[in-house]
Amino acid sequence: MTTHSLLLLPGDGIGPEVMTEVERVVAFFNKKGKAKFKTETDVVGGAAIDKHGVPLTAGALAKAQAADAVIFGAVGGPKWDKVAYDKRPEGGLLALRKELDLFANLRPAICYPALAEASSLKREHVEGLDILILRELTGGTYFGEPKEIVTLEDGQKRAVDTTVYTTREIERIARVAFDLARKRRNKVHSAEKRNVMKTGVLWNEVVTATHAREAKDVELHHILADACAMQLVRNPKQFDVIVCDNLFGDMLSDEAAMLTGSIGMLPSASLGAPDPKTGKRKALYEPVHGSAPDIAGKGLANPIAAIASYAMALRYSCGLAKEADLIDKAIANTLARGLRTADILQPNMRKVGTAEMGQAILEEIEKLAAA
């Protein structure tokens, strides 16, 4: 039996609460599944700052490098607002992305039928929605240099962020977009700002060339990133895969998240390039929702995004697609039974907390696995 190693990094805010529910699902598969999971846990973000003075220790990074997959909770919160910029909690997550070279960030936005009413858009626009935002994750504005605030001679300050992309960086993310589209509805929208940004001009050129060379079988559209934001709330079902740079992907994925009813629903996968020898990719899986400090520690958080992130780990890192489908089905069934955490609460539904939602999903998993 294969053993997969998982590094659990619960982090801050609601991270530890939702991770507890993930651990229960992992324990179930360890007991009943056809693979084993060896888990290790470490601190990251504010929790690591409190314990070690840095948001990610060298030890935790080494464990992440060695693991088959990292399962991440969330980082940040008001407690660390005054921490120096280079030591802030988010730095732990950004360092993991960069050091593991996790350039491809998959953020699926799926609207479960039971949740179509919870979306801020009308049912007809979101029912059956299944889109995938593919965000470039290790380049662009997040990591470009210079990135600084300098004081000018007259005492004013000047802040600079730099957006940089190379041909190779754009090519490799475009390739992932085309590969993913082939397994879906075969359509890619590439979003950039070629009308204003040089990186947009290059992005457009390289995506076009990669498509012509390697992916003529896939339908490709170019769209300006602002127009894409607009179309996402106007007619989201026109999209299949949207590929974009790091900063646009950050924003478009939050927007897409809300189409599904709640940001508490969205899992994500961040993948590296396949190792030339083993074919394995470094990988980190995390809910898109963040640390939600306002509800942390109250048992109110929605654990669905975290559990669905573990399902993505099964699919993309462990070769366990059937088990991943089973978890997704269990989530859909639980929602269909009318259980709702506060973020997706609707009239006549049963309000539950984090643990109760986790327990209900686990019971559905057990049922489906036994069937």
316 among known catalytic residues: no
**Whether residue 351 lies in the annotated active site:** no
254 is catalytic: yes
Q: Which of 90, 161, 214, 255 binds ligand IPM (CB under 6 A)?
A: 90
Q: Please indicate whether residue 310 is annotated as part of the active site.
A: no
**At closest approach, how far in Å is the CB of 34 from ligand IPM?**
32
Residue nearest to ligand IPM (CB): 90
Q: Which does 90 bind (CB under 5 to 8 A by kind): Mg ion, ligand IPM, none?
A: ligand IPM
Neighbours of 29 (CB within 10 A): 22
Report in angstroms how near the CB of residue 3 gets to Mg ion at its nearest: 33
Per CB under 6 A, contacts with ligand IPM among 294-333 are none
Would you count residue 56 as binding ligand IPM (CB under 6 A)?
A: no
**Residue 255 interacting with ligand IPM (CB under 6 A):** no
> 21 contacts which partner out of ligand IPM, Mg ion, none, CB within 5 to 8 A by kind?
none
- 223-262 binders of Mg ion (CB under 5 A): 250
Residue 93 binds: one of Mg ion, ligand IPM, none (C-beta under 5 to 8 A by kind): ligand IPM
Query: CB of residue 250 vs Mg ion: minimum separation in angstroms?
Result: 4
Long-range contacts of 20-24 (CB under 8 A, 24+ apart): 20/354, 20/355, 20/358, 21/303, 21/306, 21/307, 21/354, 21/355, 21/357, 21/358, 21/361, 22/71, 22/303, 22/306, 22/307, 22/309, 22/310, 24/358, 24/359, 24/362
Here the tokens at position 25 are 């699902």
Quick check: is 250 catalytic? yes
Catalytic residue among 142, 285, 310, 316: 142
Q: Which is nearer to ligand IPM, 90 or 363 (CB)?
A: 90
Number of chain positions touching ligand IPM (CB under 6 A) = 4
Q: How far apart are CA 318 and CA 314, in angstroms?
A: 5
- Interface residue with ligand IPM among 22, 93, 300, 339 (CB under 6 A) is 93
Q: Which residue is nearest to Mg ion (CB)?
A: 250
250 lies in the binding site for ligand IPM (CB under 6 A) = yes
Residues labelled catalytic:
142, 193, 226, 250, 254
Q: Which residues bind ligand IPM (CB under 6 A)?
A: 90, 93, 250, 290
